[in-house]
C-alpha cells in the first residue's frame, strides 16, 4: 500500500510552497478538487469503511451548517450560546436513542475515540484514591480506541478472548479477569470486527456487583439499534435500560450521517461526568476549564450534527436504518451462499465480516481485486477477514459490489495480498 500511496502523492498537483502572491478563490478550489481525484469515491457508495452517506441533500446541509459555524469556538459556550443550545438539543436526542435516564449528562466530542478516552479518564479519576494500579476488563473485540486510552492514561487493559463461533465474550471470563483494581468493564453494541452485540446485561451486572463502571461502546449501534428494535429485529438489551451501565458512546459522524467530528459521551448521572473535566488556574491566564481533549473546538461539527439530526428526523433515521439493514442482510446472504467464503457472524446490526473458506484463497488478495474495481473495504485480523460497514448509500451500489466480488473471486486464483492498516501514522 505504501508504494501506491507514494506514487499517487507524486502525481498530485500539490504545492508545498506558500505562494508569493495568494491564489484566487477559484484557483484554490480547483486545486483542492484536483487533489482528491484518487480519493475513495465514498459519496458514490464505493467505501465500506471510513465514510457514510445518507443522501446528497443531507450531506450538503451538513456542509453548509458546518461552514456557517466553522469559526465559532465551543471551548467557551458562554460566548456562543448558540453552540450550547445545539449541544443540549443533540445530547437530548442521543440520550433518547440510548435510553438514558433524566439524570444523564453528556458531552459532544470530536469522535468515538475522544468519547472513549473521556470514559476511561473519568473512571481513572473517579477511583483514583482506592485503586492505584487501575485496570479495565474488555473483550478482544472492543475497539482499538480503548487501547489508545489505556496507553494515554496509564490504565492496564485486560483483554478477554471472545468465542471463535459467536464472537461474543463470556461474562464469567470477564469476571475472572477482574480484581480489586478493576475500574471499568467494557461491552460493545455492536463490536466493530464481526458486528455482533456483546452480552451487555451480563457484563453490566458484573460491574454493578463490583461497584465499578461499565462502558457500553455504541459508537456504531447507538443510532441504528433503537430503530432496528422498532423494526422488530430481536436484539439483546444493550443500553442504559440495564442498571449497571454507567456510560455510553455513540458516533453521530457514522450512522448519524453528520459531518466528521461529532460523537456523544453520555454518563448515567452528573457525578460520573464530573470526573471527565479539567480545570486549572496554575498559569498566568486565569481559570481555564475544558470538558474534553480539545481546547479550541470548531462549532462546525456541532452545527452540522444539530442540522442533520433535525433534517433527517425520526422517520428519516427509521428509513435509513431499514435500508442499511436490508442491504447488509442481502450481502450477508450472498456471502453465505458462496462456498469460497465464510461469513464470520450473522450481523446484529449493519456491520459484517467474511473470510476465505479455503486455504488457497487469500482474502486480502480479494480486497486488492475489489480495490482495482473501485471498492474500498476494511482488512482485518485475526482471523484474516474483509469487513464491511454497510450504510444507507449501499442500497444503491451493493448489487454492483456483489457482481464485482464474484468476478474478483473468479479472477484471484492463488495470488496473495496484505493486511495493511486501518489507520496510518502520518
Ligand X SMILES: *Cc1c(COP(=O)(O)O)cnc(C)c1O
Residues that bind ligand X (CB under 6 A): 111-113, 116, 143, 145, 188, 192, 217, 219-220, 251, 263
**Residue 83, C-beta contacts closer than 8 angstroms, at least 6 positions apart:** 69, 72, 74, 77, 299, 302, 303
Nearer to ligand X (CB atom), residue 113 or residue 258: 113
Q: How far is the CB of 217 from ligand X (least distance, A)?
A: 5
**Residue 55, C-beta contacts closer than 8 angstroms, at least 6 positions apart:** 392
Count other C-beta atoms under 10 Å from residue 413's C-beta. Answer: 10
Q: How far is the CB of 204 from ligand X (least distance, A)?
A: 17
Nearest residue to 186 via CA among 291, 240, 95, 116:
116
Nearer to ligand X (CB atom), residue 13 or residue 423: 423
Nearer to ligand X (CB atom), residue 150 or residue 417: 150
Cα-atom radius of gyration of the chain, to the nearest Å?
22
Q: How far is the CB of 348 from ligand X (least distance, A)?
A: 12
Nearer to ligand X (CB atom), residue 193 or residue 369: 193
Q: How far is the CB of 353 from ligand X (least distance, A)?
A: 13
Nearer to ligand X (CB atom), residue 266 or residue 365: 266
45-80 core/surface letters (b: 16 or more CB in 10 A; e: else): bbbbbebbbbeeebbebbeebbeebeebebbebeeb
Q: How far is the CB of 15 from ligand X (least distance, A)?
A: 29
Verify cis geometry, omega within 30 degrees of 0, for the bond prior to 383: yes
Q: How far is the CB of 200 from ligand X (least distance, A)?
A: 13
Nearer to ligand X (CB atom), residue 78 or residue 426: 426
Query: Which residue is at the shortest CB distance from ligand X?
Result: 112
Place of cell 445530547: 91
Place of cell 439524570: 103
CA angle 221, 226, 230 (to 5 degrees): 140
Amino acid at each position: 500500500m505504501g508504494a501506491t500511496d507514494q506514487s499517487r502523492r507524486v502525481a498530485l498537483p500539490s504545492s508545498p510552497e506558500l505562494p508569493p502572491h495568494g491564489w484566487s478563490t477559484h484557483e484554490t478550489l480547483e486545486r483542492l478538487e484536483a487533489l482528491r481525484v484518487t480519493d475513495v469515491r465514498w459519496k458514490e457508495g464505493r467505501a465500506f469503511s471510513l465514510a457514510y452517506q445518507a443522501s446528497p441533500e443531507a450531506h450538503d446541509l451538513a456542509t453548509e451548517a458546518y461552514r456557517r459555524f466553522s469559526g465559532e469556538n465551543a471551548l467557551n459556550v458562554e460566548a456562543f450560546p448558540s453552540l450550547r443550545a445545539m449541544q443540549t438539543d443533540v445530547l437530548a436526542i442521543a440520550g433518547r436513542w440510548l435510553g438514558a435516564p433524566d439524570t444523564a449528562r453528556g458531552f459532544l466530542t470530536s469522535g468515538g475515540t475522544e468519547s472513549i478516552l473521556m470514559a476511561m479518564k473519568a473512571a481513572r479519576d473517579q477511583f483514583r484514591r482506592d485503586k492505584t494500579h487501575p485496570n479495565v476488563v474488555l473483550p478482544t473485540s472492543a475497539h482499538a480506541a480503548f487501547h489508545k486510552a489505556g496507553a494515554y492514561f496509564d490504565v492496564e487493559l485486560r483483554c478477554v478472548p471472545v468465542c471463535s463461533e459467536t464472537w461474543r465474550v463470556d461474562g464469567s471470563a470477564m469476571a475472572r479477569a477482574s480484581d480489586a483494581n478493576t475500574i471499568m468493564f467494557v461491552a460493545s453494541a455492536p463490536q466493530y470486527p464481526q458486528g455482533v452485540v456483546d452480552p451487555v446485561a451480563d457484563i453490566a451486572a458484573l460491574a454493578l456487583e463490583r461497584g465499578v463502571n461499565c462502558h457500553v461502546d455504541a459508537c456504531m449501534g447507538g443510532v441504528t439499534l433503537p430503530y432496528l428494535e422498532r423494526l422488530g429485529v430481536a436484539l439483546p438489551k444493550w443500553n442504559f435500560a440495564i442498571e449497571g451501565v454507567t456510560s455510553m458512546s455513540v458516533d453521530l459522524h457514522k450512522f448519524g450521517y453528520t459531518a466528521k467530528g461529532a460523537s456523544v459521551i453520555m454518563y448515567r448521572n452528573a457525578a460520573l461526568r464530573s470526573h471527565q473535566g479539567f480545570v486549572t488556574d496554575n498559569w498566568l491566564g486565569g481559570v481555564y476549564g475544558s470538558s474534553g481533549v480539545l481546547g479550541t473546538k470548531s462549532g462546525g461539527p456541532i452545527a452540522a450534527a444539530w442540522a442533520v439530526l433535525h433534517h433527517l428526523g425520526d422517520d428519516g433515521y427509521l428509513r435509513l436504518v431499514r435500508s442499511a439493514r436490508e442491504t447488509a442482510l442481502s450481502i450477508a446472504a450472498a456471502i453465505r451462499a458462496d462456498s469460497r467464503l465464510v461469513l464470520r457472524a450473522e450481523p446484529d446490526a449493519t456491520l459484517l465480516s467474511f473470510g476465505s473458506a479455503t486455504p488457497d484463497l487469500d482474502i486480502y488478495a480479494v480486497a486488492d481485486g475489489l480495490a482495482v474495481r473501485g471498492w474500498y473495504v476494511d482488512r482485518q485480523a485475526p482471523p484474516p477477514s474483509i469487513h464491511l460497514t454497510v450504510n444507507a448509500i449501499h442500497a444503491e451500489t451493493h448489487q454492483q459490489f456483489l457482481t464485482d466480488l464474484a468476478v474478483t473471486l473468479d479472477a484471484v486464483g492463488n495470488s496473495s495480498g496484505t493486511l495493511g492498516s486501518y489507520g496510518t501514522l502520518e
